């Protein structure tokens, strides 16, 4: 008999009045756990969104508390953790392929520990499949219990057993977990976790639990600390940042939080993702009023057709979206707007798809991420009848991308001849003379660096526009 704790889709669906407990001392290491990783190396592979990347930083931080050191080399690693994403089927396929491939390393180093965590680990079907067919996986844990990693590793190393522990409850808020931030000048700050929107195609509400916001004072303290440590930019992260605080009665909403974070004086503030439904005028005004809140909003459209939007459970109409889009453009000077679009939602007709194209013509997005609908097991849309062929969906995606590319290029062209502020990220992999970085509008710029270093904010004159980037020279 094993003592596995397995994910449970039914439980993950549960919602109700709930205020998440705040847990400030979750990580308690015993003496064995503190030295378990001495002289050993870890490697974390992250597949998903920025929240998933942030979890990867926390996992790294916990492993370092246990004495493990980071390695870039898979062959040197004693523990490899796959920090996964479940948003579309192809993300999942890549992970299963990688697990198969890692078997090669396990042959060379039989004590290698292979772990699976992240959103895929929250899926019942996936965990059952991995336990049945991928015997080389020693460790499975979910998005709710990163802090259990030391106990789980002790069980594997000392107890010589597999460790599987995934919770599907609504979730808690963890403060004070260690983390190894990947950069020293740009940081992500989780302001909330989970999602209650239940868009019919989406797995996230099931994999990350009920919406739960961190207290404003904890977030502000974290940003203040980052300022003191010399960070230039923070990105406030949540599945739905505009709904921030709705689950905390006396805390203040996202507009309040934006202002408070702006008042810390950190040079650049970004935030993602904004659901159009929860966008208030106060939020728009806060973005407009503070110079250190970057004029860039990711505003997922998903579809331009009202019937499809309704079946997606997005709770706005195309007209409401357009109004919000106009208000943003009119309130925030030089704002750039990007989006997400899904084509081939079950039963989407050619006319309905054309409504999406019309919306793209209207909004002329600065940047966009476009996807073919991918049915996720357990979600309502996966059970909807779908009479659109994959061939048709691929053609729609290509037609859509042609328009999206056209507008991102033509928006980029507007910057040629202008001088912009760029936060220097680093030299390019292929040409060490060429550096890259982002403008306030989140435009990627490649440029020759005359003076300064990574993490500086410098002036760059834009000389050329491409589809996905700008070229320039330092002024
Ligand atoms: N919380 C964000 C979205 C996070 S997921 C929001 O609501 O805007 C990022 C994007 O993945 C979504 O905006 C959507 O366009 C896409 N996506 C989510 N589920 C999908 C699915 N089942 N098939 C295809 N694309 C999907
Ligand atoms: Fe998914 Fe919708 Fe929540 Fe975004 S808002 S994470 S698309 S359910
Ligand atoms: Fe993927 Fe989970 Fe993020 S499904 S997009 S890693 S919240």
Q: Is residue 313 included in any domain, yes or no?
A: no
Give the C-alpha separation, 311 to 314, whole Å: 8
Nearest ligand atom owner, CA of 342: 1
What is the per-residue pLDDT for 309? 98
What is the per-residue pLDDT for 156? 98
Domain identity same for 26 and 67: yes
User: In a 10 Å sphere around its CB, with 0-12 CB exposed, 13-18 middle and 19+ buried, how is residue 457 labelled?
Assistant: middle
Which atom of ligand 2 lies closest to the CA of 203?
Answer: 1
What is the per-residue pLDDT for 84? 98
Query: What pLDDT digit, counting tens, does each position of 276-329 carry?
Result: 999 999 999 999 999 999 999 999 999 999 999 999 999 999 999 999 999 999
Task: Using the mean position of ligand 2's atoms as its centre, give its distance from the Cα of residue 202 in Å.
Answer: 6
> Using a 6 Å cutoff on CB, does residue 340 contact ligand 1?
yes
DSSP annotation of 227 reads H
Domain identity same for 79 and 161: yes
Placement of tokens 């936060």 in the chain: 423
Nearest ligand atom owner, CA of 86: 3
Q: Is residue 346 included in any domain, yes or no?
A: yes
Half-sphere exposure of 111 (CA within 13 A, CB side): 10
Nearest ligand atom owner, CA of 272: 1
> Using a 6 Å cutoff on CB, does residue 381 contact ligand 2?
no
Domain identity same for 27 and 152: yes
Residues in the chain: 475
What is the per-residue pLDDT for 259? 98
What is the per-residue pLDDT for 433? 87
Sorted by sequence, the CB contacts under 8 Å of residue 344 that are 6+ apart come out as 372, 373, 388, 390, 392, 393, 396, 397
Give the C-alpha separation, 441 to 448, whole Å: 20
Q: Are 163 and 155 in contact (CB under 8 A)?
A: yes
What is the per-residue pLDDT for 411? 98
The last residue of one of the domains, among 243, 267, 294, is 294
C-alpha distance from residue 90 to each of 48, 128, 203, 445 (Å): 12, 19, 14, 29
* Residue spans of the chain under pLDDT 70: none
Pairing of strands 212-213, 192-193: antiparallel
What is the per-residue pLDDT for 429? 80
The last residue of one of the domains, among 234, 269, 294, is 294
Domain identity same for 278 and 233: yes
Q: What is the CATH number of the domain that holds 372?
A: 3.30.750.200
> Using a 6 Å cutoff on CB, does residue 49 contact ligand 3?
yes
Placement of tokens 């019919």 in the chain: 200
Q: Is residue 175 included in any domain, yes or no?
A: no
What is the per-residue pLDDT for 96? 94
The dihedral sign for the CA sequence 333, 338, 339, 343: positive
Q: Is residue 312 included in any domain, yes or no?
A: no
Task: Using the mean position of ligand 1's atoms as its centre, give its distance from the Cα of residue 371 in Å.
Answer: 8
Task: Using the mean position of ligand 3's atoms as its centre, give its distance from the Cα of residue 461 in Å.
Answer: 36
Which atom of ligand 3 lies closest to the CA of 51?
Answer: 3
What is the per-residue pLDDT for 360? 98
Domain identity same for 276 and 201: yes
Task: Using the mean position of ligand 3's atoms as its centre, give its distance from the Cα of residue 46 in Å.
Answer: 10
Count the domains in the chain.
4
Nearest ligand atom owner, CA of 190: 3
Domain identity same for 241 and 156: no
Domain identity same for 66 and 156: yes
The Cβ of residue 47 has, within 10 Å, a number of other Cβ atoms equal to 21
Domain identity same for 48 and 151: yes
DSSP annotation of 25 reads -
The last residue of one of the domains, among 273, 294, 315, is 294
Return the bridge partners of 114, or none: 80
Pairing of strands 434-438, 444-448: antiparallel
Task: Using the mean position of ligand 3's atoms as its centre, give its distance from the Cα of residue 336 in Å.
Answer: 24
Half-sphere exposure of 131 (CA within 13 A, CB side): 18
Domain that holds residue 461: 419-474
Domain identity same for 115 and 126: yes
């Amino acid at each position: 008999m094993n003592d596995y704790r397995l994910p449970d889709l039914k439980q993950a669906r549960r919602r109700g009045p709930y205020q998440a407990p705040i847990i400030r001392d979750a990580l308690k290491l015993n003496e064995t756990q503190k030295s378990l990783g001495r002289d050993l190396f870890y490697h974390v592979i992250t597949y998903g969104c920025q929240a998933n990347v942030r979890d990867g930083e926390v996992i790294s931080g916990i492993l370092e508390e246990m004495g493990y050191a980071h390695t870039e080399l898979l062959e040197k690693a004693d523990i490899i953790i796959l920090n996964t994403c479940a948003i579309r089927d192809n993300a999942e396929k890549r992970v299963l392929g990688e697990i198969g491939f890692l078997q090669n390393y396990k042959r060379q180093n039989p004590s290698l520990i292979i772990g699976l965590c992240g959103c895929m680990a929250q899926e019942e079907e996936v965990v059952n499949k991995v336990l049945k067919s991928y015997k080389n996986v020693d460790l499975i844990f979910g998005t709710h219990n990163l802090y259990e990693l030391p106990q789980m590793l002790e069980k594997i190393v000392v107890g010589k057993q597999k460790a599987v522990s995934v919770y599907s409850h609504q979730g808690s808020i963890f403060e004070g977990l260690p983390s190894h931030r990947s950069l020293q000048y740009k940081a992500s700050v989780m302001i909330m976790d989970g999602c209650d929107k239940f868009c019919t195609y989406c797995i996230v509400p099931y994999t990350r639990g009920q919406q739960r916001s961190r207290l404003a004072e904890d977030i502000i303290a974290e940003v203040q600390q980052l300022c003191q440590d010399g960070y230039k930019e923070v990105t406030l992260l949540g599945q739905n940042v505009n709904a921030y605080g709705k689950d905390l009665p006396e805390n203040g909403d996202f507009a309040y939080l934006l202002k408070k974070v702006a008042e810390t004086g950190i040079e650049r503030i970004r935030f993602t993702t904004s659901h159009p439904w929860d966008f208030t005028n106060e939020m728009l005004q806060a973005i407009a009023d503070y110079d250190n809140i970057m004029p860039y909003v990711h505003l997922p459209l998903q579809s331009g057709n009202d019937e499809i939007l309704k079946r997606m459970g997005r709770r706005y109409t195309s007209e409401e979206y357009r109004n919000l889009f106009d208000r943003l453009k009119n309130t925030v000077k030089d704002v750039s707007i990007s989006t997400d679009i899904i084509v081939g939602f079950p039963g989407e007709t050619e006319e309905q798809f054309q409504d999406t194209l019309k919306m793209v013509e209207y909004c002329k997005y600065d940047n966009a991420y476009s996807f073919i609908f991918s049915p996720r097991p357990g979600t309502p849309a996966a059970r909807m009848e779908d009479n659109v062929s994959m061939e048709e969906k691929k053609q729609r995606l290509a037609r859509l991308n042609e328009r999206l590319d056209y507008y991102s290029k033509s928006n980029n062209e507007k910057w040629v001849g202008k001088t912009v502020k760029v936060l220097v990220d680093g030299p390019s992999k292929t040409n060490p003379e060429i550096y890259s970085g982002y403008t306030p509008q989140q435009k990627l710029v490649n440029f020759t660096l005359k003076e300064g270093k990574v993490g500086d904010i410098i002036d760059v004159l834009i000389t050329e526009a491409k589809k996905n980037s700008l070229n320039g020279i330092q002024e």
